[in-house]
Structure 1
Amino acid sequence: MKKAVLAVAVVSAFAVPAFAETNLNPFEDSKSGFYLGLGLGAADYDDSYSTAKDFYNEVGASGTLKYTTRDAAWKVFGGYRVNKYFGVEASYNNLGNPDADFYPSNGRSIVETEAEIKGYGLKAIGYYPINNSFELLASVGALKWEVEEETKGTSFVTGRSAKFKSKTEKGTSLTVGLGANYNLTDNIAFGLQWERINDVGDKKLAFGETDIDTYTLSAQYKF
């Protein structure tokens, strides 16, 4: 997995910039050029808070664990379109703030955990034009992510809260995606994309380690 991620990052980082200037791009066509965009949508967590679930099961804790399986997500991105068939894109991704609440059966307290997931992505994109307005796309890349997590406990009896721990884990994951674009004009396009980010998180976190699927509706402007 690490070798695959490294290979994608190296190819994406060094294969295209040589053609970034118009006069150096031998593959230039009407689609060539730089673009910026914004995407809004949702992130689905395949197995969120797996470590917390395992911990409470192992210690035999009596109570109820409620946790987030989907949260809002967004990204800002920019890239260079080599031609109508190929491009490269970089992005900043906010993958949501999934949380988990454990309610002990005695009803006297609550343990709350919240995670913030974000990262920087780089990917290569292949396009398949259907006509002048519609095109399909597929992508492969890497996302350098960071998960910041905070856990605290609150007593319903005293009303006091206490922070138990804060943790931060970082890593890099392979990403794959599929989608479609609708070109409203030569400069403005709207897109719909699904993307899978593999193995985000760590077993050291209550959030655990899980695949994340994102679904985004985006708008972009080509310069």
Structure 2
Amino acid sequence: MNKTKLIGPILLTLGMTSTALAQNGFYAGASIGQATIDGCDGLTKCDDEDTGWKVFGGWEFNRNIAIEAAWVDFGEVSGSIGESKVSAEVDGWVLAGKGMLPLTEQFSVFAKLGMIMWDVEGSGAASGIDDDGTDLVYGLGAQYMFTDRFGVVGEWEWYDIDNDIDLFSIGALIKF
């Protein structure tokens, strides 16, 4: 069989598959921003801000309701207890419902409510500390779609981990 005869049907199938996924509302993206971890109680020379980032994916049921999963890395909080340096890294998995309000064809605002399964690992004088749990997360944001498939998203999220964590981020969003 002539291989060039297969190219047309393969491209047609790929195009139909990506169109079907877009009609089904699947999306993915990544964001980066500023994380603030309220973890300075009892520490001196404390640095409770770091670069935070996340990768996420979701499914829009319709223009107003979606479900989203993400892996988020909040970075590290560090400081000193006496002469000993301590630090801890925080990350976790998020599952949240997302309510969206389209204001125009391209621009919408949204709110999130969900849960995070988090993990904290200590180092320095806090070496050996490994804690985890499940807590509440909520957030507010906006997204602007440049095309039907590509947009930007900006948001603030609050995580009710032992010490509250705020994440302000901006990122890219791709709809499939």
TM-score bucket of the superposed structures, by smaller chain: 0.7 to 0.9
3-state secondary structure, aligned to 2:128 = strand
Q: Is the 8 A contact 2:30 2:56 kept in 1?
A: yes
- 2:172 is the alignment partner of 1:210: no
Instruction: Report the 3-state secondary structure (helix = DSSP H, G, I; strand = E; otherwise coil) of the residue aligned with 1:97.
Output: strand
Distance in 1, Cα, partners of 2:153 & 2:53: 13
Identity percentage of aligned residues: 32
Alignment correspondent of 1:49: 40
Partner of 1:33: 25
Instruction: Number of aligned residue pairs: give it.
Output: 155
> Which residue pairs with 2:77 in the alignment?
98
Residue by residue over 1:20-61, the C-alpha shift from the partner in whole angstroms, topping out at 9 and shown as x without a partner, is xxxxxxxxxx8741111001001112x3132x34xxxxxxxx
Residue 193 of structure 1 is matched in structure 2 by: 155
What pairs with 1:1-40 in structure 2 (closer than 5 Å)? 32-40=24-32
Corresponding residue for residue 133 of structure 2: 171
1:181 corresponds to which letter in structure 2? Q
Secondary structure of residue in 2 paired with 1:39: strand
Does residue 1:85 correspond to 2:47, yes or no? no
Question: What TM-score do you get using the length of structure 2 for normalisation?
Answer: 0.83
Corresponding position of 2:9: none
**In 2, distance between residues paired with 1:195 and 1:222?**
22
Structure 2 residues without counterparts, runs of 5 or longer = 1-21
Question: Any stretches of 5+ residues in structure 1 without a counterpart?
Answer: 1-29, 54-64, 105-109, 153-163, 201-208
Equivalent residue, structure 2, for 1:8: none
> What secondary structure is seen at the aligned counterpart in 1 of 2:54?
strand
CA distances 1:142-170 after superposition (whole Å, capped 9, x unpaired): 00000000234xxxxxxxxxxx7421000
2:116 to 143, 154, 168: 143
CA contact (8 A) 1:89 1:125 kept: yes
> Could you tell me how far apart the structure 2 residues matched to 1:165 and 1:193 are?
33
- Is the counterpart of residue 71 in structure 1 residue 50 in structure 2? yes
Aligned partner of 1:4 in structure 2 is: none
What whole-Å deviation, never above 9, does each CA across 1:41-83 have from its counterpart, x for those lacking one? 01112x3132x34xxxxxxxxxxx1111211100000111111
> What secondary structure is seen at the aligned counterpart in 2 of 1:128?
strand
**1: distance between equivalents of 2:158 and 2:140?**
9
Structure 2 partner of 1:25: none
